[in-house]
Each structure stands twice: as structure tokens, then as C-alpha cells.
Amino acid sequence: MAPPRLTIVDAALSLPIRHDHTLLQHCLAAELAVSRSCRNGNCGRCDSSLLKGRVKLRNGNTVEAPATIPLCIAFALDEVEISNLPLIKLPIFWRCQWQNSRVLVLPAGRQTPPHEGDICAVLFEGSVELNEIAEVNGRNIVLLKPAANTPEVNSVSLITIDAEHEGQYTLWREYKSQRQVVWQGINHVTARSAQTAYQANTCKGSYHIIHDASTKKP
């Protein structure tokens, strides 16, 4: 029988449950920036919605869904689904106009552009290409190397990533009942940034994150 899992609706994330870990520990291990402070259930900063399942609090009380629970003192008793996590911040992304394989154009308006030398990922509907920002000239973002793909529409999303972005997460796309791996072997921060950018763009289909200890870089 498969081990029970913790589903985090906000992050489209499913994790195997460790019964000796609080739900907050599960979230932090998955690199979710959950607001927290006291770690004893009093401050209310990590309070979240229990949608499905049962949890046991550190004081011995059992809580069944639906309910509001402090993640820092809640241990899963079976399959659990939570939402409304108080996340500290959202990932930053840029939706750019496609000029050519090396030049992306930021939309008009006041926004902070990426910086020269930043490692970045260009997000196509079904694939991701890693690159580097060679130059920022006004609204023009110049890539270090030409992109190998061309977008289906005249725009792409751009995110900046850490040099050490490897991990055990996979981002996949679901479209017309078909599943397609978009980006594999990345950490959750990177996966979440890409998922947020895809969801905000006009890409067809939906994008989901899974955690798999057996995931390897392609």
C-alpha cells in the first residue's frame, strides 16, 4: 500500500507524509516560505485550512476537516489536504514580448528588470531553456546565447534562477488529457517560480508540480 500523502493545494504539491514531522516541517522541507514565529500554536502566523483528513495536535487533540489548524503543532494521521498557507512572498517573473532568439522586450510600465549576469530560464509552453542575461538595455533583455526554440505565440515568460537549482521536483503540463514533462530535476523554489509564471501567461493547459525522490536530471 502506498504511504499517505500531504497535498498542498496552494503549491499544487503532493508529499509523502512522515508522522514524526509537523505539517510545518513538511512545508519547510519542500522549501515553501510559510510565515511562522512561535512554533507552539499560539501566534497564529502559520494557521492554514485543513480541507481533508485528520491531524493530531501536540496537546493531544484530534482535529478533522474542515478546520483551521496551526501547522507548527499538527501531525498528519492519514491522507491530508491543506490550503490557504500564509506564504511570505510570491516568485518574481517577467512576461516578455518575443523579439528574436536573443532579444526579449519587457512590457511598458514601471517594473524592476532582471540584472546583467543573472542566470535565467526562458519558459516555452512545453519546454524550458536555461540562459543568462547578457545585457539589459531599457526594456530590451539580451540573452547570452540564442534560444533554440520559437514560441507559438509572440510572448514568453522569463524567470531568474539560482545556479544551484537542482532538486527532486518535476514540473509537468496537462493539455487535452495529455501529460508532458516540462522541467525535471529542479528544487521546489524553481518549480514554483516557473509554475506561477506559466499560470499567469496565456499558455494552453495547466501546470503541476510533483515531488519524486527518484527524479533525476534528464
For 78-113, write each residue's pLDDT tens digit: 999 999 999 876 557 899 999 999 999 998 876 788
Beta bridge partners of 72: none
Cβ within 8 Å of residue 126, ≥6 positions away? 173, 180, 182
Domain range list for the chain = 5-83, 94-211
CA dist., res. 129 & res. 123, Å (int): 7
Mean of pLDDT values over 67-78: 97
* CATH class of the domain whose range is 5-83: alpha beta
Give the mean pLDDT of the chain.
Answer: 90
Beta bridge partners of 5: 16
CA dist., res. 41 & res. 56, Å (int): 13
pLDDT at 215 over 60: no
Going from the C-alpha of 187 to that of each of 139, 178, 183, the distances in angstroms are 29, 24, 11
Task: Provide the grid cell at 77.
Answer: 494521521
42: region left, alpha or beta (phi > 0 left; psi from -120 to 50 alpha): alpha
Name the band, by pLDDT with cuts 50, 70 and 90, for residue 152.
confident
